[in-house]
Amino acid sequence: MRVPRSRVEIAPSILAADFACLERGIRLAEGGGARLIHVDVMDGHFVPNLTIGVPVVASLRKATRLALETHLMIANPGDFIESFARAGADRIYVHQEATPHLDRVLHQIQEAGAEPAVAVNPATPVGTLGEVLDLVGAVLVMTVNPGFGGQKFIPHSLDKIRELVAFRERYNRNFGIAVDGGVGPENVGEIVRAGAEILIAGTSVFHTPDASAAVRQLRERGEEALALKV
């Protein structure tokens, strides 16, 4: 499946949904008009937390027609690419810091039929990605240290988004720019104005009384912020 792409694409992160009722979380995201679901995979090595793996992605695939993006926060990501692609991941993010063979792993994703994408931790400069920008459909700027939901957005991440926008223009590339961590109604405007399109949000969607309304509100705020931009 092709991953949808518009100027403001909200990707609810099911890490913040109730793990006993993931299907309900998906329905709430669908109700808010989300076209993309973000799935966080953690292994207790690359990040100090454990979450979900291939079988859960396969079950989510059966439960929805929305695009699924998996965010692999795992060591040796190359060992799991085929499994996640077969399970139904449409886009696969691997961390630049998790493999010395980023180019090879991105090609593996492409060959497995998913969209290759790369993520960078807060301390990693986006300038290190220059050699792979023609390979990826999206670059994810981590706006918190990966491993947990509910953390605070790191403000200097906005400069990394602007730098990626400049790269994209200078080299005439077409990758999407994603942000993940601490994204909510209070900062979505400055994030989209900086140039990001894929807004990954967990707490600000699922830890609210009405997750569908939260998705809609994020998208509307983002679109309004762009409309005001002159």
Which range in 27-35, 55-63, 80-88, 144-152 contacts ligand DX5 by CB under 6 A? 144-152
Options 121-129, 145-153, 170-178, 214-222: segment touching ligand DX5 (CB under 6 A): 145-153
Binding partner at 201 among ligand DX5, Zn ion, none, C-beta below 5 to 8 Å by kind = ligand DX5
Per-position x/- string for 199-218, each x denoting binding to ligand DX5 as judged by CB under 6 A, each - no binding: -xxxxx--------------
Q: List the single partner that 150 binds among Zn ion, ligand DX5, none, CB under 5 to 8 Å by kind.
A: ligand DX5
Closest of 181, 217, 226 to residue 199, by C-alpha: 181
Q: Which does 203 bind (CB under 5 to 8 A by kind): ligand DX5, Zn ion, none?
A: ligand DX5
Q: Lay out the site mask for ligand DX5 across 13-52 (x = CB under 6 A, - = otherwise).
A: x-xx---------------------x-x------------
Helix (H) or strand (E) holding 91: strand 91-95
Q: Which of 44, 90, 48, 45 is nearest to 71 (CA)?
A: 90
Q: Which of residues 151-190 bind ligand DX5 (CB under 6 A)?
A: 151, 180-183
Dig out the tokens for 83 from the structure. 């499994």
Least distance (Å) between residue 61 CB and ligand DX5: 19
- Burial class of 26 by CB neighbour count within 10 A (0 to 12, 13 to 18, 19+): buried
Question: Per residue in 34-54, is it b (16+ CB within 10 Å) or e — as a string?
Answer: bbbbbbbbbbeebbeeebbbb
Binds 151: which of ligand DX5, Zn ion, none (CB < 5-8 Å by kind): ligand DX5
Q: How many CB atoms lie within 10 A of CB 228?
A: 9
Crossing angle between the packed helical segments 22-31 and 211-228, to the nearest 10 degrees: 40
